[in-house]
């Protein structure tokens, strides 16, 4: 019996994604937990792992819009390595040959694969101006990323040193026109999502704003006293966010209704705290989740915040990193804000 490869929960408010490209071809044998495709959401890119070992049957194409819960592939667990679906061992071609032919079949009339076409379109590039290094001179994804990388390096914006990231680079606005002091820039997908979410919140949420001052003198003195020994022992700085997280955890344990959620006609109470930490990135605001924050020490909280912050800014957060939050914290103090 075939096993479905479904799109899992992708994080708070995320209901759809783009199937960027298949990492495994139709009919290819895959191992359990082996990445089979790359998907892109408004908040991050992620690889979708195989739930079982067997022969892969793809149900969608590169560039397709997909939704949470949708089945994008099936795996035949009775399939064996080296045997294509419906064939014999003698008919099997080398994996590299199969992959090459699969990629060739997916090339459109313009000579571009769906993934390459999407990158070219999103960044308003001229395909004829890109030197293709693929088979028969075709343009590959790396060719497009190389062009984007060169453009980014020529801009005045400082970027982290590292391999070019398609989602990160595509967030650079492309100016369409400038007439009479009016400039238009296309919204990125994540900016569109943020705008829609804010409008929806205004229409459907119970709006409440409250502001309270807290005397942080004791925490600053405590941090000053233990900052160096804390770093020496744990290898990470003692910041303020760990105090905020611990304070929120204690408050949520005292008032569990605030840590609950609504699902249709039920109130769902959580006996754990999965704390979302808002992180500002070039792509927009993302909210990675610290799982079981109520069980973490100060050092564990600081280490996990540092990890997800780096992953968020490099657009490398996994689906698991973005899903399951029960409460979120945003800290606008770094921007001089008194209230966010």
Sequential pLDDT tens for the chain (340 residues)? 899 999 887 765 677 888 988 999 999 999 999 999 988 876 667 788 999 999 999 999 988 889 989 999 999 998 877 655 544 444 444 444 444 444 444 556 677 777 778 778 777 788 888 887 776 777 887 777 777 766 554 443 334 444 444 444 444 555 555 456 788 887 766 667 667 766 766 665 556 778 888 899 999 999 999 999 999 999 999 999 999 999 999 999 999 998 988 777 888 899 999 999 988 887 777 888 999 999 999 999 999 999 998 888 887 777 778 778 889 898 877 777 777 6
How far apart (Å, rounded) are the C-alpha atoms in residues 71 and 328? 30
Q: How many folded domains does the chain comprise?
A: 3
- CB environment 310-335: b (16+ within 10 A), e (fewer): ebbbbbbbebebbbbbbbebebeeee
Together in a domain, 64 and 162: no
pTM over 0.75: no
Whether the CA torsion 95, 97, 101, 104 is positive or negative: it is positive
Together in a domain, 168 and 96: no
Q: What is the predicted pLDDT for the residue at 193? A: 64
Is 192 part of a structural domain of the chain?
no
Is 199 part of a structural domain of the chain?
no
Together in a domain, 160 and 247: no
Q: What is the predicted pLDDT for the residue at 132? A: 79
Is 189 part of a structural domain of the chain?
no
Q: Is 135 helix (H, G, I), strand (E, B) or coil?
A: helix
Q: What is the predicted pLDDT for the residue at 307? A: 92
Whether the CA torsion 71, 139, 174, 176 is positive or negative: it is negative
Together in a domain, 70 and 118: no
Q: Are 294 and 281 in contact (CB under 8 A)?
A: no
Together in a domain, 228 and 328: yes
Q: What is the predicted pLDDT for the residue at 173? A: 54
Is 203 part of a structural domain of the chain?
no
Whether the CA torsion 40, 43, 45, 51 is positive or negative: it is negative
Domain end position, chosen among 105, 122, 154: 105
Residue range(s) defining the domain that contains residue 135: 114-174
Q: What is the CATH number of the domain that holds 120?
A: 4.10.320.10
Q: Are 91 and 101 in contact (CB under 8 A)?
A: no
Q: What is the predicted pLDDT for the residue at 79? A: 81
Q: What is the predicted pLDDT for the residue at 121? A: 79
Is 194 part of a structural domain of the chain?
no
Together in a domain, 330 and 226: yes
Domain end position, chosen among 105, 130, 150: 105
Q: What is the predicted pLDDT for the residue at 107? A: 58
Together in a domain, 73 and 151: no
Q: What is the CATH number of the domain that holds 19?
A: 2.40.50.100
């Amino acid at each position: 019996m075939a096993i479905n490869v479904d799109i899992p929960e992708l994080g708070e408010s995320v209901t759809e994604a783009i199937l960027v490209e298949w990492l495994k071809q139709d009919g290819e044998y895959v191992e359990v937990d082996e990445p089979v495709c790359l998907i892109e959401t408004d908040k991050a890119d992620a690889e979708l792992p195989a739930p079982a070992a067997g022969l892969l049957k793809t149900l969608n194409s590169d560039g397709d819009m997909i939704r949470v819960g949708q089945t994008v592939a099936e795996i035949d667990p009775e399939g064996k390595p080296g045997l294509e679906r419906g064939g014999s061992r003698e008919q099997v071609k080398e994996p590299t040959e199969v992959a090459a032919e699969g990629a060739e079949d997916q090339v459109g009339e313009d000579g571009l694969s769906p993934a390459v076409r999407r990158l070219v379109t999103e960044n308003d590039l001229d395909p004829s101006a890109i030197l293709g290094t693929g088979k028969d001179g075709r343009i590959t994804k790396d060719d497009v990323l190389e062009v984007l990388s060169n453009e980014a390096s020529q801009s005045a914006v400082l970027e982290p040193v590292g391999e070019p990231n398609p989602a990160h680079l595509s967030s650079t606005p492309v100016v369409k026109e400038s007439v009479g002091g009016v400039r238009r820039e296309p919204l990125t997908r994540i900016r569109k999502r943020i705008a829609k979410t804010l409008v929806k919140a205004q229409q459907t949420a119970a709006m409440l704003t409250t502001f309270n001052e807290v005397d942080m003198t004791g925490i600053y003195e405590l941090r000053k006293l233990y900052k160096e020994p804390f770093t020496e022992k744990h290898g990470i700085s003692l910041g303020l966010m760990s105090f905020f997280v611990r304070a929120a955890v204690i408050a949520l344990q005292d008032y569990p209704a605030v840590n609950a959620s609504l699902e249709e006609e039920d109130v769902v109470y959580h006996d754990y705290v999965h704390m979302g930490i808002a992180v500002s990135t070039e792509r927009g605001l993302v909210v990675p989740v610290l799982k079981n924050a109520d069980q973490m020490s100060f050092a564990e909280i600081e280490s996990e915040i540092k990890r997800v912050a780096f992953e968020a800014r490099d657009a490398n957060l996994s689906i698991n990193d973005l899903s399951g939050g029960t409460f979120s914290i945003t800290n606008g103090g770094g921007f001089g804000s008194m209230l966010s």
